[in-house]
């Protein structure tokens, strides 16, 4: 229970890596608000599931790309939890295509959902964190933000932007006892990777020294570490959770 009494907000928390982060934070003692964009039913189910496990988790519907809705989310979190100690910017989408075929709309929507959302929530979370002179900010990037990937120029640009944003934020807020780090997952078992065929998965594993895909919990445990006092002297860093893929 290394996060006992801490108050956390996770964007995009109903599935995949986000869901794993929400439950791992709660399992370590934090009270968590998570955002979601589409299904009220899934959000309510997660709340019920968590309550049965003795966790305190609350969903809030919001479009992460909207500054106004992010502001409502922060206000809800402060009212519901009484403060905010941990922010995890996880919300994101993909609209993959080769650059010659990518529409301006697909580029803009991915940048808005994946990068502008990080600006929205970070900016709004700064005031309460600076006031209490404590905060842990963790932004979910991707290994492709480090090494690039064909057919994902919009997604890669957004995730590389998250890394640069993380470093700049870390320098701005360090004097207020607020840390800001990024986690860069590699190939993690999610709905998206579940759609890959065996040949595609084999090709991926040739690039991973550990010869397996990661689990959502691998990322979530790294987030918990960065959110804890054990990581109080770590800021502005990018931790790749990728089975050795980018080394």
CA distance 52 to 207: 40
pLDDT at residue 195 above 80? no
Q: What is the pLDDT of residue 201?
A: 83
For residue 184, name the pLDDT band (cuts at 50, 70, 90): very high
Contact 111, 154 (CB under 8 A): yes
| pLDDT tens, residue by residue, 128-176 | 999 999 999 999 999 999 999 999 999 999 999 999 999 999 999 999 9
**Section 72-84 average pLDDT:** 98
For residue 114, name the pLDDT band (cuts at 50, 70, 90): very high
Q: Which of 180, 187, 245 is nearest to 218 (CA)?
A: 187
Report, in angstroms and rounded to the nearest whole number, the Rg of the chain calculated over CA atoms: 17
Contact 34, 56 (CB under 8 A): no
| pLDDT tens, residue by residue, 13-49 | 999 999 999 999 999 999 999 999 988 999 999 999 9
CA distance 12 to 235: 23
**Which of 36, 134, 155, 233 is flagged as catalytic?**
155
CA distance 199 to 97: 20
pTM over 0.85: yes
Structure token pair of residue 215: 């689990």
For residue 191, name the pLDDT band (cuts at 50, 70, 90): confident
Q: In what order do the strands lie in the sheet with 86-89?
A: 57-61, 31-36, 7-10, 86-89, 135-140, 178-185, 238-241
| pLDDT tens, residue by residue, 199-240 | 888 888 999 999 999 999 999 999 999 999 999 999 999 999
pLDDT at residue 192 above 80? no
Helix (H, G, I), strand (E, B) or coil at 137: strand
- What residues are paired with 35 via a beta bridge? 60
pLDDT at residue 101 above 90? yes
Note if 155 is an active site residue.
yes
Q: What is the pLDDT of residue 198?
A: 84
Helix (H, G, I), strand (E, B) or coil at 196: coil
Sign of the C-alpha dihedral computed for residues 47, 92, 163 and 206 taken in this order: positive
């Amino acid at each position: 229970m290394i996060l006992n009494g801490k108050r956390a907000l996770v964007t995009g928390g109903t599935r995949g890596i986000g869901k794993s982060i929400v439950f791992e934070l709660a399992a370590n003692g934090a009270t968590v608000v998570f955002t979601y964009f589409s299904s009220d039913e899934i959000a309510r189910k997660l709340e019920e599931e968590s309550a049965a496990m003795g966790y305190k988790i609350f969903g809030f519907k919001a479009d992460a790309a909207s500054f106004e809705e992010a502001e409502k989310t922060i206000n809800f979190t402060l009212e519901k939890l009484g403060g905010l100690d941990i922010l995890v910017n996880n919300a994101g989408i993909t609209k993959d295509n080769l650059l010659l075929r990518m529409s301006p709309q697909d580029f803009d929507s991915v940048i808005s959902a994946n990068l502008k959302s990080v600006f929205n929530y970070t900016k709004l979370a700064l005031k309460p964190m600076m006031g209490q002179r404590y905060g842990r900010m963790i932004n979910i990037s991707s290994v492709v933000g480090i090494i690039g990937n064909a057919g994902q120029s919009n997604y890669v640009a957004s995730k590389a932007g998250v890394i640069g944003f993380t470093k700049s934020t870390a320098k701005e807020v360090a004097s207020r006892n607020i840390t800001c780090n990024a986690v860069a997952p590699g190939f993690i078992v999610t709905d998206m990777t579940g759609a890959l065929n065996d040949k595609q998965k084999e090709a991926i594993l040739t690039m991973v020294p550990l010869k397996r895909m990661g689990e959502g919990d691998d990322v979530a445990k790294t987030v918990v570490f960065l959110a804890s006092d054990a990581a109080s002297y770590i800021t502005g860093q990018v931790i790749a959770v990728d089975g050795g893929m980018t080394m």
